[in-house]
Amino acid sequence: MKIAITGGIGSGKSYVCQLLTQHGISIYDCDSAAKRLMRTSLVLRQQLTELIGPDTYDAEGQLNKAEVARYLLLSEQNAQAINVIVHPAVAQDFQESGYQWMECAILYESGFEQLVDKVIAVTAPEDIRIHRIMQRDGITREKALEWIHRQWSQDKVRSRSDFEIINDGRPLEPQIEGIIKKIMS
């Protein structure tokens, strides 16, 4: 059985995944995989450079994250153009990886729910998410909201998911253990 952990930016997906690894669960991280593939795949490098421009990679061949983020946030069409290039590579990488669990912030937006059998949504109140994003990324409240609104609403994600972990300060372990028991039974 393949399982995905999803949730909006700042919901605490990565923290929940850290807790899951303490239960012996290995998790494929779609964000890390996308960054790795954008850095190492010559095909992706070429396609992204053609799409975004010559500043997509620096002189040492490192991905210029600020340039990619700038391009992505200019319009929904730009975000979709990047996704059309990157998502198929990540999907193939996951399928070839042997992992049973994946962490994917944009599971539904990317169509990756087709790759899994069950979905766990991690949710948190918006004010907590904004605070986490501002602290983690050193950005303004407005920029944090911009990132939040680029993704599906928590209600929409929750309605399509099989399980929910509420990350609002209440204990996470009992929620995680309950879900693991249901999945494994």
Instruction: Give pLDDT, residue 8.
Output: 93
Instruction: Give pLDDT, residue 99.
Output: 96
CATH tag, 1-26+100-185: 3.40.50.300
Residue 75: other Cβ atoms inside 10 A: 10
Alpha carbon of residue 132 to chain centroid:
15
Residue 57 β-bridge partners: 63
The answer to whether 156 is annotated as binding is no
The answer to whether 53 is annotated as binding is no
pLDDT tens digits, one per residue of 150-167: 889 999 999 999 999 999
Question: How do the domains of the chain map onto residue ranges?
Answer: 1-26+100-185, 39-98
The answer to whether 14 is annotated as binding is yes
The answer to whether 15 is annotated as binding is yes
Residue entry with tokens 């990350």: 167
In this prediction, the residues of the chain whose per-residue pLDDT falls under 50 are none
Instruction: Give pLDDT, residue 185.
Output: 83
Query: Looking at beta carbons, which pairs linking 53-59 to residues 24 or more positions away fall under 8 Å?
Result: none
Helix-strand-coil percent breakdown of the chain, rounded to 5? 60, 10, 25
Which positions ≥6 away from 16 have C-beta within 8 Å? 5, 120, 122, 165, 167, 172, 176
Instruction: Give pLDDT, residue 73.
Output: 84
Give me the chain's average pLDDT, please. 95
